[in-house]
Structure formats: structure tokens, C-alpha cells
């Protein structure tokens, strides 16, 4: 069966957009093919800096024929309606009258011949290309629409024939070009295998996975030759893969005068501006070598390319060294007052005001973080944002905090204070290290809690996919700080104290706890913790200690995996359903304890005795946070509850006996709801 080859050649596509564009092109085209009834065997998309390519294999030569039946108006309908129906039918349609339960109607049998695939493709492909959702796009003189970059040419070949697909004023042909510098001549292609082979000969490696693998392998080989190792940087590797069509990996040298700069400054300068890879020595420290990936081959083996990149890097690092020397000429503390001139948010004041709030809150948090020195915490909070006023952070914003630690150490600040300055932004994501040092934990929590409380107080909450102030990330950071360090932090109380310091809007503690419940589900999902159990514990109300909450949830999850747990959950739902129905019917609630004198059946007596023993045992276990013991006490109810439902009729004819048994059911409900709101728990 024929294959479809599509290539769009343009000016350079930004590296960050390439993978998504390739996936979107494949999705839009294949969805269009399926909608048109054109099934296929496989589809793959590829991308380079200059071209998007798609290969779809196993397409039929024509659409399938379709037999369709259409019902028209009643035979007694007005003539205008009948003529309108007949006029809407294609030539060759067969019309017949047919009896139905609602009368006699016209029916048309329409046989539609499938169109040739080559005739369907132009419109289908043009629409798919026009619908590509670029994050940013542009206009240019010869194209009436928008595209990521000006399009030079297109290839569209189906079964060896050229398909005249258009994109603006560009019409597809069977010709493309090779590498911009190494083989810019025209190439005529007939199918995918021919396309792949000729591009390779023309110095284009069109598969990004192959380019990535070659860059990494060649870089590691160069490092090993020098007794070094390549610094792991998957993000940079992906970006560089999107910058070259024919990767040529080279190694350059860093001047010794710059090796006194902090490693983070060297690697950031090389990475951010030049897209160079850093190398490491045997001691794990940054080595005086860098890896650059060129997009061309030279007759001298890349010597001039390396020399040129070394000159550029020398200028970059000279700037960095200037900032390094100038920043250390003043103390970090002397830069803190400049935060008064930096607005954090129009409604939340300056960064200096935020730091004041952080100091107060961080000092309060020392009560809950063991071994946290209050004076060191206050010092770290005061200096946490000071490096934002330095030249180095102005040049490299991603080094905020990191440079603060270097400058604090230079000024003789305590090591715990310096580390807290660097770590208070963390954790920034699920793969980022979480601070564990007491001073760092206090300052990191204070920063994130102040941000969350502030933005919730001014009603700047995340909505849908929009979260411009990264509040979801801040909440997940707090969750990790609390759970990974085992901090017994009463969140609602801390939120209220943070709001009192802020003094703006209403206390958002209640909204924040609901927000945290959602974030906690996200955080625990990968650990196999059920979201409904988190809901069940939060529904108890007043639970703002995440460590205690997780202990309760883990014990509950383990219990529900047992046979006793499964059966007791089923019994709870049965009891709750009966109570809900009867309380609604009677317009009453049966919350009181049952009358022992009305317990006539052995099964209900046994259940009452079991509840009498289990309830205080559960309460005692919960008070000491022995949640495993609480679940064990619940398990003891399983047998008497099962027997009760097997042997006892709740809705007895005797009204007093019926009410007493409903109160007994409430005992089951109350006992379980003391552990968690079992109504929130999903059964099998």
C-alpha cells in the first residue's frame, strides 16, 4: 500500500518548539486521515531545526465506498418539503416509500463512491498544517497567515506521485535541499527511504533521537580522551539537538584566570549564553574544558571554530569575573536595603516588606522545627533576597540564592545562614532536592507560606491551567518540606499567623487547606496513595497536620486492603444508606445511644457489646496517634456487624425496636467516622 511523505522546510524553528510541533503535525494529519476513512499502518514524525517531516505508511489508494440511508418527509408533506428533500440528494440516489409506525415516509438510498486518496490529501494536509498550534508565530510578506518561521518549500509525495499541497504561496513538489552550508543543492526524492538516504548524504541527520545520541556519545568520547567526564545536562542536550542538523562535537579550553569563579557561574555562563557543555575532573569539580556542538564541518578539523568559541567565552567570563569581584567589594547585608526599591507585587508591597514578613514567620516556625536556631533563622531570612541587588544575579537570574551563599560565606556569615540563603527557594519541583537543615527549612517554609497566604488574600488564586505566580509549586514545596522532614506543623494556625502579619484581605486559611488537599493528592498519586482516602481524612475537619494525616491515610489504606476492611466498608455503606433513607422518611436523626433494655436478639446484643469495647479503644488509639491500633479495633467489629445484618431485621414492625436498631446502626457509622469519613471512600 502507498506511503505518504510530507516535509515542510523553513527558517530555523526554535528548539523548544520542535518536539511539540512534530507531535502536533502527526496528530492533526492522522486525525484527519481517520475522519476521512483513510486507515493506515503506521505514522512517524521527525524534526530538525529547518524541517518538519511526516511519514504515513500503509494508506489505501482511495476512500471506501459508503452506503447511506436518509429518511425524508412524510409522503403527505407539502410539495415544497418533498422537492427540497429530493433536491438535496446526489445524482443516482434511489428513493422509495416505506411504511413506519408513524406513517409512510420517503427514504433515499445513497451510494457514495470513495474519492481517490491523492485527491483528498491536498485539502486535508493544508488544513492540518494551518491548524498547527505554535506557541509563538509570525507573519511575513508572502504568507497571508501565521507560521512559526517563513516557509521555503515543501515536499509531498504519495505512492511516488507529487501531491500539490499548498501552504500560503508555497506549493509542494518532490524536491528538497540538504544542509544549509555543507550541501545546499536541490534533492529529488521518490519515497521515504530515498528521502532518508539522500538527506544523510547531504549532511542532514533528520532523526532527533539519532542526533541526540551522537552528540552525547561524541562528547563523552572527547572527555574520556582527556581523562574527564561530561557534566550531565539532559535539558541542554535536548536544546542543542534542536540547533543542529549535522552535529560536529568539539572541545575548547577555559582560561586559567577564570577557574577561580564559582562552578555555578562558569557552567551557567557557558550554558545560558553559549550552549556549551561543562566537563568534570576526577575530583568531580568543573574542569577547564568545555564542549561545543557545531553545525558544520571545516577543513581544519574545527580548530577555527574552537578558537572562535574560546574568544567569545573569554569575553563572557570576563564580564562574570567583573561582577564577581565587584559584588564582593560590598557586604551582602549592605545590599538588603535596596530591596525597598523592588516591588514584589503591587498589592503585597516591596521585597523588603516581604522579607520582614519572612523574618517574623520564620522565627515562629522555629517552634515546630527541631534544632532551628531563632537568631540564625532571622539572619538568613533577612539576607535571603539580598543577592537580587548584585550584578551577578542581575546578569544570571537563575543564580539567585546560590550567589547569596557565596557572598554570605565571603562576609563571614554562619554556614547554616549561608546555606539557608541558597536553599530557601527549594524544592522547585519534584526532582529538586528538598532542604533538610533546620535553618534552611524554616526560611524555605516562611518564603512559600508568605507567598501563598498573600496571593490567596488578594484573591489571585490559580484558575484552571493558569498559575502565573507558581502557587501550586509553592504548595507542593511546603508539602515536601513538611513530610520529608517529619515536621508537625499546624498549617491552619500558621496560615492565620502569616495573614495577621500581612494585614490584607480575609484570612484565606480555609481556602488554602482545600487547595492543599488537592495538591497532596497530586503529590501522593505516584506513591500509590488513593485520593479518596485523603478526602476521607480531610473531611473529618480540623486536620492540618500533614504528618499525622499521612500516618492516618497509610493505616487506613492498609486496613482497607484486608478482608476485614473490605467487608466493614461494605457494611458501613449499607448502614449509612439505611440510616439516610429512614432519617429522611422520619424527618429525624438517630444519633443517641441505643437502649440496652430493647436489645432482644443475640446478634444485636453482640454488636452493642463490640461497639462498646471498640469505641473507647478507637478513641484512645486516635488520641495517641496509634492509627494501626485504631484499625485493629475497627477490625474487631467485622464479625458482629456481619452477623447483625445476616440475622436482624432493622425495620421491625415494633416501632420502638426499629428506632433502637437504627440507633445501633448509627453506632457503626459513628465508630468508623471517628477514624475517617467512610462515605468519601470508594468501594470496589
Give 189-203 pLDDT, tens digit per residue: 999 999 999 999 999
User: Given this model, what pLDDT does residue 232 score?
Assistant: 95
Q: How far apart are CA 573 and CA 577, in angstroms?
A: 6
> What nine digits make up the cell of 82?
418533498
pLDDT classification of 682: cutoffs 50, 70, 90: confident
Would the pLDDT of 494 be above 80?
Answer: yes
- The number of angstroms, rounded, from the C-alpha of 70 to the middle of its chain's C-alpha atoms is 47
Q: Which residues of 60-80 are buried (b: 16+ CB within 10 A; e: fewer)?
A: eebbeeeeeeeebbeeeeeee
Q: How far apart are CA 78 and CA 100, in angstroms?
A: 19
pLDDT classification of 69: cutoffs 50, 70, 90: confident
Residue 230 contacts residue 289 (beta carbons within 8 Å): no
- β partners of residue 95: 108
Most confident of 14-23, 90-99, 670-679: 14-23
Give 369-419 pLDDT, tens digit per residue: 999 999 999 999 999 999 999 999 999 999 999 999 999 999 999 999 999
Angle at 307 between CA 303 and CA 312, to 5 degrees: 150
Average pLDDT of the residues in 587-604: 89
Q: How many CA atoms lie within 13 A of 312 on its CB side?
A: 16
Average pLDDT of the residues in 201-226: 96
Give 334-350 pLDDT, tens digit per residue: 999 999 999 999 999 99
Pairing of strands 51-57, 42-47: antiparallel
User: Has domain 558-680 been given CATH number 1.20.120.50?
Assistant: no
**What is the residue-wise DSSP string for 579-590?**
HHHHHHHHT---
Contacts of 20 (CB under 8 A, 6+ apart): 135
How many C-beta atoms surround the C-beta of residue 275 within 10 A?
15
Would the pLDDT of 684 be above 70?
Answer: no
User: Has domain 334-528 been given CATH number 1.10.3210?
Assistant: yes
Give 231-266 pLDDT, tens digit per residue: 999 999 999 999 999 999 999 999 999 999 999 999
Average pLDDT of the residues in 142-166: 91
Residue 164 contacts residue 172 (beta carbons within 8 Å): yes
* Residue where the block lists cell 495577621: 500
pTM of the model: 0.81
Average pLDDT of the residues in 199-212: 96
User: Given this model, what pLDDT does residue 390 score?
Assistant: 96
Give 510-541 pLDDT, tens digit per residue: 999 999 988 988 888 878 888 889 888 888 88
Do 334-528 and 558-680 have matching folds?
no
Q: Where are the domains of the chain?
A: 4-62+116-201, 66-112, 208-327, 334-528, 558-680
Average pLDDT of the chain is: 93
Average pLDDT of the residues in 56-70: 88
Q: How far apart are CA 652 and CA 650, in angstroms?
A: 6
Amino acid at each position: 500500500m502507498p506511503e505518504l511523505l510530507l516535509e515542510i522546510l523553513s527558517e530555523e524553528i526554535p528548539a523548544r518548539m520542535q518536539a511539540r510541533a512534530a507531535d502536533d503535525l502527526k496528530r492533526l494529519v492522522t486525525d484527519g486521515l481517520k475522519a476521512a476513512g483513510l486507515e493506515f499502518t503506521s505514522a512517524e514524525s521527525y524534526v530538525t531545526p529547518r524541517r518538519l517531516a511526516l511519514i504515513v505508511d500503509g494508506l489505501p489508494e482511495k476512500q471506501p465506498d459508503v452506503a447511506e440511508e436518509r429518511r425524508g418527509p412524510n409522503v403527505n408533506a407539502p410539495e415544497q418539503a418533498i422537492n427540497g428533500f429530493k433536491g438535496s440528494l446526489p445524482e443516482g440516489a434511489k428513493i422509495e416509500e416505506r411504511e413506519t409506525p408513524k406513517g409512510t415516509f420517503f427514504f433515499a438510498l445513497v451510494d457514495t463512491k470513495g474519492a481517490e486518496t491523492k485527491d483528498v490529501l491536498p485539502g486535508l494536509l493544508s488544513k492540518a498544517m494551518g491548524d498547527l498550534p505554535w506557541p509563538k508565530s509570525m507573519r511575513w510578506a508572502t504568507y497571508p497567515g501565521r507560521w512559526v518561521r517563513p516557509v521555503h518549500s515543501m515536499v509531498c509525495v504519495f505512492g511516488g506521485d507529487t501531491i500539490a499541497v499548498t501552504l500560503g504561496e508555497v506549493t509542494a513538489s518532490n524536491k528538497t535541499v540538504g544542509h544549509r552550508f555543507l550541501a545546499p543543492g536541490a534533492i529529488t526524492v521518490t519515497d521515504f527511504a530515498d528521502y532518508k538516504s539522500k538527506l544523510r548524504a547531504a549532511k542532514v541527520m533528520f532523526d532527533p533521537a539519532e542526533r541526540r545520541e551522537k552528540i552525547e556519545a561524541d562528547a563523552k568520547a572527547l572527555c574520556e580522551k582527556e581523562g574527564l567526564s561530561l557534566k550531565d545536562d539532559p535539558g541542554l542536550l535536548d536544546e542543542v539537538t534542536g540547533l543542529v542538523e549535522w552535529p560536529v562535537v568539539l572541545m575548547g579550553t577555559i582560561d586559567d584566570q577564570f577557574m577561580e569563579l564559582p562552578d555555578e557561574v562558569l557552567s551557567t555562563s557557558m550554558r545560558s549564553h553559549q550552549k556549551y557543555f561543562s566537563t568534570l575532573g576526577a575530583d568531580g569539580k568543573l574542569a577547564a574544558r568545555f564542549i561545543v556542538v557545531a553545525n558544520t564541518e571545516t577543513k581544519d578539523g574545527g580548530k577555527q571554530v574552537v578558537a572562535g568559541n574560546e574568544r567569545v567565552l573569554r569575553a563572557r567570563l570576563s564580564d562574570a569575573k567583573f561582577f564577581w569581584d565587584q559584588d564582593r567589594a560590598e557586604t551582602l547585608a549592605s545590599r538588603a536595603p535596596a530591596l525597598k526599591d523592588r516591588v514584589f507585587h503591587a498589592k503585597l508591597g516591596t521585597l523588603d516588606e516581604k522579607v520582614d514578613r519572612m523574618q517574623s514567620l520564620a522565627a515562629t516556625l522555629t517552634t515546630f522545627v527541631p534544632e532551628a536556631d531563632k537568631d540564625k533563622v532571622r539572619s538568613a531570612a533577612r539576607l535571603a533576597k539580598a543577592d537580587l541587588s548584585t550584578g551577578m544575579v542581575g546578569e544570571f537570574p537563575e543564580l539567585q540564592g546560590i550567589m547569596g551563599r557565596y557572598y554570605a560565606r565571603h562576609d563571614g556569615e554562619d554556614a547554616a545562614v549561608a546555606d539557608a540563603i541558597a536553599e530557601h527557594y527549594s524544592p522547585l519541583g519534584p526532582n529538586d532536592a528538598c532542604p533538610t537543615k533546620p535553618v534552611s527549612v524554616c526560611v524555605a517554609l516562611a518564603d512559600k507560606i508568605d507567598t501563598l497566604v498573600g496571593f490567596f488574600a488578594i484573591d489571585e488564586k490559580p484558575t484552571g491551567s493558569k498559575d502565573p505566580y507558581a502557587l501550586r509549586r509553592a504548595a507542593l514545596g511546603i508539602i515536601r518540606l513538611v513530610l520529608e522532614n517529619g515536621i508537625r506543623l499546624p498549617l491552619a494556625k500558621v496560615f492565620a499567623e502569616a495573614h495577621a502579619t500581612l494585614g490584607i484581605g480575609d484570612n484565606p486559611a480555609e481556602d488554602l487547606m482545600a487547595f492543599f488537599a488537592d495538591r497532596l493528592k497530586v503529590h501522593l498519586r505516584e506513591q500509590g496513595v488513593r485520593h479518596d482516602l485523603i478526602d476521607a481524612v480531610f473531611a473529618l475537619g480540623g486536620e492540618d497536620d500533614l504528618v499525622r494525616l499521612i500516618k492516618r491515610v497509610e493505616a487506613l489504606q492498609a486496613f482497607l486492603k484486608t478482608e476485614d476492611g473490605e467487608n466493614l466498608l461494605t457494611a458501613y455503606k449499607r448502614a449509612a444508606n439505611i440510616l439516610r433513607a429512614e432519617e429522611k422518611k422520619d424527618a429525624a436523626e438517630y444519633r443517641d445511644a441505643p437502649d440496652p433494655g430493647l436489645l432482644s436478639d443475640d446478634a444485636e446484643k453482640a454488636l452493642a457489646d463490640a461497639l462498646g469495647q471498640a469505641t473507647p479503644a478507637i478513641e484512645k488509639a486516635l488520641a495517641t496517634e496509634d492509627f494501626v491500633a485504631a484499625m485493629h479495633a475497627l477490625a474487631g467489629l467485622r464479625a458482629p456487624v456481619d452477623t447483625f445484618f445476616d440475622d436482624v431485621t432493622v425495620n421491625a414492625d415494633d416501632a420502638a425496636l426499629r428506632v433502637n436498631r437504627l440507633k445501633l446502626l448509627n453506632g457503626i457509622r459513628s465508630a468508623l467516622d471517628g477514624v475517617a469519613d467512610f462515605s468519601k471512600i470508594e468501594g470496589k
